[in-house]
Structure 1
């Protein structure tokens, strides 16, 4: 059973990202603030839910949250500042866009660049422990998946509609055969699934 809050005194925002390990596409992040009495037994880590379950929960989260926001950082920016910094920047942008100002931030993972003047707590596997982080993981994942579906229409050889930019065998082989698209992260290493050659 996921917990409603880490602490009950302050307005708490949960943050999570999606797409950190991808070869292509932006990294997305979301921030979610729920009412103090909020509980939803269906919410869980987005990785533990089916695509249909995530898409069903997204409008529920958006309707029932006090505030939510989603942000992204482009592949070009990822290549400039590295994926870790890009993930934190995306979280900061999502926090900036919230219509309610948080007083405390819950972050999935073990690291975070502090957000100005607001305390935070990093929670390892927090998307499976706290509702707000789980909700943020669902929003980040579903918005990113939709974005990759749209890109796949113009770049069908990479099959982003199914792999969402992650380094599957099909995706890596497509990169080694056709090269990078404008949406690939050029600083990410692409290896041949059979020969272990690198691009």
Structure 2
């Protein structure tokens, strides 16, 4: 069972991103504020869930959350500011979209930049420790998957429907055979 919060008594937003290690596409992040003492035994790191279960939980998260939002940073922006800065910017954009202002932020990982003078804590493997971060990981992952599925219709040869832009053997072979698409991150090692 994941913990409901790190900062008891404060409105706390959990943040996570998806798509950081991909060769193509935007990076997505989500911010989620859950009700105090919220319980959902099914919430977990999105990587530990089946795609079907992630989408089921997305509906539950969107229904139950006090507030939630998704932020996006494009592949062009990633190439300009690098993936670490892009991941943090995507989280900031998600936080910008919240209808409720958090009093504390917890972030999956070990890197973040100050946001609007709100105290934050980074938590390594936080998506497996705190419900709001797990919820954010599920939203970021499912919204990014939807985006990559749309791109896969345009570029089926890269197998994005399966690999979502990650550097699989099939994806790298398609780059070698067909070159890059307008969605590839040009500052990444693509082959």
Q: What is the TM-score of this pair, normalised by structure 2? A: 0.99
Instruction: Report the equivalent of 1:92.
Output: 92
Q: 1:25-174 counterparts in 2 under 5 A?
A: 25-174=25-174
Task: Report the Cα distance in structure 2 between the residues aligned to 1:186 and 1:113, rounded to whole angstroms.
Answer: 25
**1:2-21 alpha-carbon deviations (Å, 9 max, x no partner):** 00000112100000000000
Task: Report the Cα distance in structure 1 between the residues aligned to 2:156 and 2:7, rounded to whole angstroms.
Answer: 46
Q: What is the DSSP-based 3-state SS (H/G/I as helix, E as strand, rest coil) of the residue aligned with 1:105? A: strand
**1:94-119 alpha-carbon deviations (Å, 9 max, x no partner):** 00000000010000001101112100
Matched, 1:178 2:170: no
Q: What is the DSSP-based 3-state SS (H/G/I as helix, E as strand, rest coil) of the residue aligned with 1:77? A: helix
**1:125-145 alpha-carbon deviations (Å, 9 max, x no partner):** 000000000000000000000
Task: Report the Cα distance in structure 2 between the residues aligned to 1:44 and 1:87, rounded to whole angstroms.
Answer: 21
**1:47-76 alpha-carbon deviations (Å, 9 max, x no partner):** 000001101100000000000000110000
Task: Report the Cα distance in structure 2 between the residues aligned to 1:121 and 1:187, rounded to whole angstroms.
Answer: 30
Task: Report the Cα distance in structure 2 between the residues aligned to 1:115 and 1:101, rounded to whole angstroms.
Answer: 11
Q: By how many angstroms is 1:37 displaced?
A: 2.4
Task: Report the Cα distance in structure 1 between the residues aligned to 2:111 and 2:76, rounded to whole angstroms.
Answer: 23
Instruction: Report the equivalent of 1:197.
Output: none
Aligned residues: 191
Instruction: Report the equivalent of 1:195.
Output: none
Structure 1, unmatched stretches of 5+, are: 192-199
Q: By how many angstroms is 1:184 displaced?
A: 0.4
Task: Report the Cα distance in structure 1 between the residues aligned to 2:28 and 2:84, rounded to whole angstroms.
Answer: 12
Task: Report the Cα distance in structure 2 between the residues aligned to 1:190 and 1:29, rounded to whole angstroms.
Answer: 23
Task: Report the Cα distance in structure 2 between the residues aligned to 1:90 and 1:145, rounded to whole angstroms.
Answer: 16
Q: What is the DSSP-based 3-state SS (H/G/I as helix, E as strand, rest coil) of the residue aligned with 1:24? A: coil
Larger Rg: 1
